[in-house]
Chain A
Amino acid sequence: MLDADFFRRWMTAAAASVDREAERLTALDSAIGDADHGSNLQRGFAAVLATLDKEAPDTPGAVLTLAGRRLISTVGGASGPLYGTLLRRTGKALGEAAEVSEEQLAQALRAGVEGVRALGGAAPGDKTMIDALVPAVDALGDGFAAARSAAEGGAVATTPLRARKGRASYLGERSIGHQDPGATSSALLIAGLAEAAEGSGE
Protein backbone atom coordinates (compact mmCIF):
# COMPACT_ATOMS: atom_id res chain seq x y z
CA MET A 1 0.00 0.00 0.00
CA LEU A 2 1.08 3.56 -0.68
CA ASP A 3 0.89 6.17 2.07
CA ALA A 4 1.33 9.95 2.20
CA ASP A 5 5.11 9.49 2.56
CA PHE A 6 5.22 7.67 -0.76
CA PHE A 7 3.49 10.59 -2.46
CA ARG A 8 5.83 13.10 -0.78
CA ARG A 9 8.77 11.05 -2.06
CA TRP A 10 7.19 11.17 -5.52
CA MET A 11 6.98 14.96 -5.47
CA THR A 12 10.51 15.23 -4.05
CA ALA A 13 11.90 12.96 -6.77
CA ALA A 14 10.01 14.87 -9.46
CA ALA A 15 11.33 18.18 -8.15
CA ALA A 16 14.89 16.83 -8.09
CA SER A 17 14.73 15.54 -11.66
CA VAL A 18 13.16 18.79 -12.89
CA ASP A 19 16.08 20.61 -11.23
CA ARG A 20 18.59 18.24 -12.79
CA GLU A 21 17.01 18.41 -16.27
CA ALA A 22 15.87 22.05 -16.27
CA GLU A 23 18.42 23.14 -18.85
CA ARG A 24 17.52 20.26 -21.15
CA LEU A 25 13.78 21.05 -20.84
CA THR A 26 14.42 24.70 -21.63
CA ALA A 27 16.64 23.75 -24.58
CA LEU A 28 13.87 21.54 -25.99
CA ASP A 29 11.40 24.37 -25.39
CA SER A 30 13.62 26.90 -27.11
CA ALA A 31 13.40 24.80 -30.31
CA ILE A 32 9.60 24.81 -30.57
CA GLY A 33 8.28 26.82 -27.60
CA ASP A 34 9.09 29.94 -25.62
CA ALA A 35 12.18 28.63 -23.82
CA ASP A 36 10.89 28.69 -20.27
CA HIS A 37 9.68 25.15 -19.58
CA GLY A 38 12.59 24.15 -17.36
CA SER A 39 12.64 27.30 -15.24
CA ASN A 40 8.84 27.38 -14.95
CA LEU A 41 8.67 23.82 -13.66
CA GLN A 42 11.64 24.41 -11.34
CA ARG A 43 9.80 27.31 -9.76
CA GLY A 44 6.58 25.31 -9.51
CA PHE A 45 8.06 22.19 -7.95
CA ALA A 46 10.17 24.22 -5.53
CA ALA A 47 6.91 25.85 -4.37
CA VAL A 48 5.28 22.41 -4.12
CA LEU A 49 8.03 21.09 -1.84
CA ALA A 50 7.93 24.22 0.33
CA THR A 51 4.16 23.91 0.73
CA LEU A 52 4.24 20.17 1.47
CA ASP A 53 6.87 20.87 4.09
CA LYS A 54 4.85 23.63 5.73
CA GLU A 55 1.36 22.15 5.59
CA ALA A 56 2.32 18.47 6.01
CA PRO A 57 -0.77 16.89 4.40
CA ASP A 58 -1.26 13.39 5.81
CA THR A 59 -3.11 11.48 3.08
CA PRO A 60 -2.11 10.61 -0.49
CA GLY A 61 -5.06 12.56 -1.87
CA ALA A 62 -4.20 15.66 0.17
CA VAL A 63 -0.53 15.58 -0.92
CA LEU A 64 -1.45 15.56 -4.61
CA THR A 65 -4.32 18.05 -4.32
CA LEU A 66 -2.10 20.54 -2.53
CA ALA A 67 0.75 20.00 -4.99
CA GLY A 68 -1.60 20.55 -7.92
CA ARG A 69 -2.90 23.79 -6.48
CA ARG A 70 0.61 25.11 -6.01
CA LEU A 71 1.59 24.29 -9.58
CA ILE A 72 -1.40 26.21 -10.94
CA SER A 73 -0.48 29.20 -8.78
CA THR A 74 3.23 29.35 -9.39
CA VAL A 75 4.34 27.93 -12.74
CA GLY A 76 3.27 30.87 -14.91
CA GLY A 77 3.06 28.89 -18.17
CA ALA A 78 0.64 26.37 -19.67
CA SER A 79 2.34 23.50 -17.87
CA GLY A 80 1.09 24.94 -14.54
CA PRO A 81 -2.64 24.45 -15.06
CA LEU A 82 -2.00 21.20 -16.98
CA TYR A 83 0.21 19.51 -14.36
CA GLY A 84 -1.85 21.16 -11.62
CA THR A 85 -5.01 19.61 -13.02
CA LEU A 86 -3.27 16.24 -13.42
CA LEU A 87 -2.22 16.10 -9.77
CA ARG A 88 -5.35 17.65 -8.34
CA ARG A 89 -7.70 15.35 -10.24
CA THR A 90 -5.59 12.36 -9.29
CA GLY A 91 -5.60 13.49 -5.66
CA LYS A 92 -9.36 14.02 -5.63
CA ALA A 93 -9.89 10.58 -7.17
CA LEU A 94 -7.82 9.05 -4.34
CA GLY A 95 -10.18 10.56 -1.78
CA GLU A 96 -9.30 10.71 1.90
CA ALA A 97 -7.85 7.24 2.41
CA ALA A 98 -4.66 7.09 4.50
CA GLU A 99 -3.23 4.43 2.17
CA VAL A 100 -4.06 3.48 -1.39
CA SER A 101 -3.23 0.44 -3.51
CA GLU A 102 -1.18 0.60 -6.71
CA GLU A 103 -4.34 -0.26 -8.59
CA GLN A 104 -6.20 2.66 -7.00
CA LEU A 105 -3.35 4.96 -7.95
CA ALA A 106 -3.46 3.68 -11.55
CA GLN A 107 -7.19 4.39 -11.75
CA ALA A 108 -6.84 7.81 -10.13
CA LEU A 109 -3.99 8.75 -12.45
CA ARG A 110 -6.14 7.77 -15.40
CA ALA A 111 -8.79 10.20 -14.11
CA GLY A 112 -6.07 12.84 -13.78
CA VAL A 113 -4.93 12.32 -17.38
CA GLU A 114 -8.55 12.57 -18.53
CA GLY A 115 -8.72 15.91 -16.69
CA VAL A 116 -5.66 17.13 -18.60
CA ARG A 117 -7.18 16.02 -21.89
CA ALA A 118 -10.41 17.85 -21.10
CA LEU A 119 -8.57 21.04 -20.11
CA GLY A 120 -6.11 21.23 -22.97
CA GLY A 121 -8.12 19.45 -25.64
CA ALA A 122 -5.10 17.42 -26.76
CA ALA A 123 -5.35 13.87 -28.10
CA PRO A 124 -2.57 11.29 -28.44
CA GLY A 125 -0.37 12.20 -31.41
CA ASP A 126 -0.74 15.97 -30.94
CA LYS A 127 2.86 16.20 -29.63
CA THR A 128 2.02 17.10 -26.03
CA MET A 129 2.45 15.70 -22.52
CA ILE A 130 -0.50 13.40 -23.31
CA ASP A 131 1.83 11.37 -25.55
CA ALA A 132 3.89 10.38 -22.50
CA LEU A 133 1.09 10.24 -19.91
CA VAL A 134 -1.34 7.98 -21.75
CA PRO A 135 1.18 5.15 -22.39
CA ALA A 136 2.41 5.52 -18.80
CA VAL A 137 -1.06 5.07 -17.37
CA ASP A 138 -1.71 2.16 -19.73
CA ALA A 139 1.49 0.46 -18.52
CA LEU A 140 0.97 1.15 -14.83
CA GLY A 141 -0.80 -2.17 -14.36
CA ASP A 142 2.59 -3.81 -15.01
CA GLY A 143 4.31 -1.73 -12.34
CA PHE A 144 6.06 1.61 -11.91
CA ALA A 145 9.17 0.62 -13.89
CA ALA A 146 6.99 -0.30 -16.87
CA ALA A 147 5.20 3.03 -16.60
CA ARG A 148 8.55 4.85 -16.56
CA SER A 149 9.71 3.06 -19.73
CA ALA A 150 6.39 3.69 -21.45
CA ALA A 151 6.49 7.40 -20.62
CA GLU A 152 10.08 7.74 -21.85
CA GLY A 153 9.17 5.87 -25.04
CA GLY A 154 6.16 8.11 -25.51
CA ALA A 155 8.26 11.25 -25.09
CA VAL A 156 10.87 10.10 -27.62
CA ALA A 157 8.10 9.15 -30.04
CA THR A 158 6.91 12.80 -30.17
CA THR A 159 10.01 13.76 -32.19
CA PRO A 160 8.64 13.03 -35.68
CA LEU A 161 5.20 14.42 -34.89
CA ARG A 162 3.79 17.74 -35.99
CA ALA A 163 2.55 19.86 -33.07
CA ARG A 164 -1.17 20.53 -33.01
CA LYS A 165 -1.43 22.26 -29.61
CA GLY A 166 0.24 25.16 -27.87
CA ARG A 167 2.79 27.61 -29.17
CA ALA A 168 4.60 24.88 -31.15
CA SER A 169 1.48 24.41 -33.30
CA TYR A 170 2.14 27.81 -34.92
CA LEU A 171 5.31 26.29 -36.37
CA GLY A 172 3.39 23.68 -38.38
CA GLU A 173 5.82 21.49 -40.30
CA ARG A 174 8.79 23.12 -38.59
CA SER A 175 7.81 21.52 -35.30
CA ILE A 176 8.70 18.12 -36.78
CA GLY A 177 12.05 16.66 -35.65
CA HIS A 178 12.02 18.08 -32.11
CA GLN A 179 11.10 16.13 -28.99
CA ASP A 180 8.20 17.73 -27.16
CA PRO A 181 9.28 19.42 -23.90
CA GLY A 182 5.95 18.71 -22.19
CA ALA A 183 6.10 15.00 -23.00
CA THR A 184 9.70 15.03 -21.76
CA SER A 185 8.81 16.59 -18.40
CA SER A 186 5.87 14.18 -18.11
CA ALA A 187 8.33 11.32 -18.46
CA LEU A 188 10.35 12.88 -15.60
CA LEU A 189 7.23 13.03 -13.44
CA ILE A 190 6.47 9.35 -14.07
CA ALA A 191 10.13 8.45 -13.47
CA GLY A 192 9.74 10.15 -10.10
CA LEU A 193 6.95 7.72 -9.32
CA ALA A 194 9.26 4.80 -10.03
CA GLU A 195 11.98 6.38 -7.87
CA ALA A 196 9.51 6.80 -4.99
CA ALA A 197 8.62 3.12 -5.29
CA GLU A 198 12.29 2.10 -5.30
CA GLY A 199 12.77 4.19 -2.15
CA SER A 200 10.19 2.08 -0.34
CA GLY A 201 11.84 -1.17 -1.44
CA GLU A 202 9.01 -2.16 -3.80
Chain B
Amino acid sequence: MSDGKRVGIVLVSHSAAVAASVAELAKGLVGGAAVPVAPAGGTEGGELGTSAELIAAAVASVNRGAGVAVLTDLGSAVLTVKALLAEGDELPEGTRLVDAPFVEGAVAAVVTAATGADLAAVEAAAAEAYDYRKV
Protein backbone atom coordinates (compact mmCIF):
# COMPACT_ATOMS: atom_id res chain seq x y z
CA MET B 1 0.00 0.00 0.00
CA SER B 2 1.78 3.09 -1.23
CA ASP B 3 -0.63 5.37 0.62
CA GLY B 4 0.52 4.00 3.93
CA LYS B 5 -2.74 2.26 4.75
CA ARG B 6 -2.00 -0.93 6.60
CA VAL B 7 -4.00 -4.14 6.46
CA GLY B 8 -5.79 -4.63 9.77
CA ILE B 9 -5.51 -7.88 11.74
CA VAL B 10 -8.18 -9.28 14.08
CA LEU B 11 -7.46 -12.24 16.35
CA VAL B 12 -10.51 -14.23 17.43
CA SER B 13 -10.04 -16.74 20.23
CA HIS B 14 -12.39 -18.48 22.67
CA SER B 15 -10.35 -16.81 25.38
CA ALA B 16 -9.95 -13.05 25.86
CA ALA B 17 -6.54 -13.66 27.45
CA VAL B 18 -5.32 -15.78 24.52
CA ALA B 19 -6.47 -13.25 21.91
CA ALA B 20 -4.92 -10.32 23.80
CA SER B 21 -1.65 -12.15 24.46
CA VAL B 22 -1.22 -13.31 20.88
CA ALA B 23 -1.89 -9.75 19.69
CA GLU B 24 0.72 -8.49 22.13
CA LEU B 25 3.21 -11.15 21.03
CA ALA B 26 2.75 -10.40 17.32
CA LYS B 27 2.99 -6.64 17.82
CA GLY B 28 6.05 -7.08 20.00
CA LEU B 29 7.84 -8.95 17.23
CA VAL B 30 7.54 -6.07 14.75
CA GLY B 31 9.36 -3.67 17.02
CA GLY B 32 6.74 -1.01 17.39
CA ALA B 33 5.81 -0.67 13.70
CA ALA B 34 2.27 0.64 13.42
CA VAL B 35 0.02 -2.25 12.47
CA PRO B 36 -3.63 -2.09 13.49
CA VAL B 37 -4.19 -5.29 15.48
CA ALA B 38 -7.22 -6.00 17.67
CA PRO B 39 -8.11 -9.02 19.81
CA ALA B 40 -11.68 -10.33 19.98
CA GLY B 41 -11.58 -13.04 22.62
CA GLY B 42 -14.26 -14.72 24.68
CA THR B 43 -17.84 -13.60 25.12
CA GLU B 44 -19.05 -10.14 26.04
CA GLY B 45 -19.61 -11.46 29.54
CA GLY B 46 -15.93 -12.39 29.81
CA GLU B 47 -16.51 -16.14 29.54
CA LEU B 48 -14.96 -18.65 27.14
CA GLY B 49 -16.69 -18.53 23.77
CA THR B 50 -17.16 -16.31 20.76
CA SER B 51 -18.92 -12.96 20.46
CA ALA B 52 -20.16 -11.69 17.10
CA GLU B 53 -20.39 -8.20 18.62
CA LEU B 54 -16.78 -8.18 19.80
CA ILE B 55 -15.62 -9.45 16.40
CA ALA B 56 -17.54 -6.78 14.48
CA ALA B 57 -16.21 -4.06 16.80
CA ALA B 58 -12.62 -5.31 16.48
CA VAL B 59 -12.83 -5.41 12.68
CA ALA B 60 -14.24 -1.88 12.59
CA SER B 61 -11.46 -0.66 14.89
CA VAL B 62 -8.61 -1.90 12.64
CA ASN B 63 -10.17 -1.13 9.26
CA ARG B 64 -8.03 1.47 7.47
CA GLY B 65 -9.49 0.75 4.04
CA ALA B 66 -6.80 -1.74 3.04
CA GLY B 67 -8.72 -4.83 4.15
CA VAL B 68 -8.84 -6.80 7.38
CA ALA B 69 -7.41 -10.29 7.90
CA VAL B 70 -9.28 -12.25 10.57
CA LEU B 71 -7.51 -15.18 12.22
CA THR B 72 -9.43 -17.57 14.48
CA ASP B 73 -8.76 -20.47 16.77
CA LEU B 74 -11.47 -23.17 16.83
CA GLY B 75 -15.08 -24.15 16.36
CA SER B 76 -17.43 -21.30 17.10
CA ALA B 77 -14.74 -18.69 16.36
CA VAL B 78 -14.45 -19.99 12.79
CA LEU B 79 -18.20 -20.47 12.35
CA THR B 80 -19.15 -17.06 13.75
CA VAL B 81 -16.75 -15.21 11.44
CA LYS B 82 -18.03 -17.25 8.47
CA ALA B 83 -21.64 -16.51 9.41
CA LEU B 84 -20.90 -12.77 9.73
CA LEU B 85 -19.18 -12.76 6.33
CA ALA B 86 -22.12 -14.63 4.80
CA GLU B 87 -24.47 -11.98 6.16
CA GLY B 88 -22.92 -9.49 3.75
CA ASP B 89 -23.25 -6.23 5.65
CA GLU B 90 -22.00 -7.15 9.11
CA LEU B 91 -18.29 -6.70 8.34
CA PRO B 92 -16.68 -4.07 6.07
CA GLU B 93 -15.79 -4.97 2.51
CA GLY B 94 -12.31 -6.41 2.27
CA THR B 95 -12.65 -8.45 5.46
CA ARG B 96 -11.36 -11.98 5.01
CA LEU B 97 -11.19 -15.08 7.18
CA VAL B 98 -7.63 -16.30 6.84
CA ASP B 99 -6.94 -20.03 7.08
CA ALA B 100 -3.85 -20.15 9.27
CA PRO B 101 -2.53 -21.48 12.57
CA PHE B 102 -3.47 -19.00 15.28
CA VAL B 103 -0.19 -17.99 16.90
CA GLU B 104 2.26 -18.51 14.04
CA GLY B 105 -0.23 -17.16 11.52
CA ALA B 106 -0.81 -14.04 13.61
CA VAL B 107 2.90 -13.32 13.81
CA ALA B 108 3.35 -13.87 10.06
CA ALA B 109 0.33 -11.69 9.27
CA VAL B 110 1.41 -8.80 11.51
CA VAL B 111 5.03 -8.90 10.32
CA THR B 112 3.87 -8.88 6.69
CA ALA B 113 1.30 -6.14 7.25
CA ALA B 114 4.02 -4.02 8.89
CA THR B 115 5.87 -3.91 5.55
CA GLY B 116 2.85 -2.30 3.92
CA ALA B 117 1.93 -5.48 2.02
CA ASP B 118 -1.60 -5.88 0.70
CA LEU B 119 -4.29 -8.21 2.03
CA ALA B 120 -3.46 -11.05 -0.38
CA ALA B 121 0.19 -11.00 0.72
CA VAL B 122 -0.79 -10.93 4.40
CA GLU B 123 -3.16 -13.84 3.85
CA ALA B 124 -0.51 -15.85 1.97
CA ALA B 125 2.10 -15.24 4.67
CA ALA B 126 -0.29 -16.35 7.41
CA ALA B 127 -1.33 -19.46 5.50
CA GLU B 128 2.30 -20.40 4.84
CA ALA B 129 2.79 -20.70 8.59
CA TYR B 130 1.08 -24.11 8.28
CA ASP B 131 4.22 -25.34 6.50
CA TYR B 132 6.74 -24.48 9.21
CA ARG B 133 7.37 -27.92 10.65
CA LYS B 134 8.89 -28.01 14.10
CA VAL B 135 10.34 -31.49 14.05
Residues of B within 8 A of A82 (CB): 79
A84 touches B83 (CB 8 A): yes
Residues of A within 8 A of B75 (CB): 77-78, 166-167
A119 touches B82 (CB 8 A): yes
- A76 is contacted by which of B43, B74, B84, B86 (Cβ under 8 Å)? B43
B83 touches A81 (CB 8 A): yes
A85 is an interface residue with CB less than 8 A from chain B = yes
Residues of A within 8 A of B80 (CB): 72, 80-81
Residues of B within 8 A of A78 (CB): 75-76, 79
Interface size (A, Cβ < 8 Å)? 20
Known: A40-B49, A77-B50. A72 touches B76 (CB 8 A): no
Residues of B within 8 A of A73 (CB): 51-53
B47 is an interface residue with CB less than 8 A from chain A = yes
Known: A72-B80, A167-B75. A119 touches B49 (CB 8 A): no
A interface: dominant SS = helix
Residues of B within 8 A of A77 (CB): 49-50, 75-76
Residues of A within 8 A of B49 (CB): 36, 40, 76-77
Q: How far is the CA of A34 from the CA of B49 in the complex (A)?
A: 10
Residues of A within 8 A of B52 (CB): 72-73, 80-81
Known: A76-B76, A78-B76, A120-B79. A85 touches B86 (CB 8 A): yes
A81 touches B53 (CB 8 A): no
Q: How far is the CA of A58 from the CA of B51 in the complex (A)?
A: 28
A72 touches B84 (CB 8 A): yes
Known: A166-B75, A167-B75. A80 touches B82 (CB 8 A): no
Q: A69-B87, A72-B83, A72-B84 are in contact. List 10 more A-B contacts (CB 8 A).
A: A40-B49, A72-B87, A76-B76, A77-B50, A77-B75, A78-B75, A81-B76, A81-B79, A119-B83, A167-B75
28 contacts between A and B (CB under 8 A): A36-B49, A40-B49, A69-B87, A72-B83, A72-B84, A72-B87, A73-B51, A73-B52, A76-B49, A76-B51, A76-B76, A77-B50, A77-B76, A78-B75, A78-B79, A79-B76, A80-B80, A81-B52, A81-B76, A81-B79, A81-B82, A85-B86, A119-B79, A119-B82, A119-B83, A120-B79, A166-B75, A167-B75
Which residues of B come within 8 Å of A, CB atoms? 43, 47-53, 74-76, 79-80, 82-84, 86-87
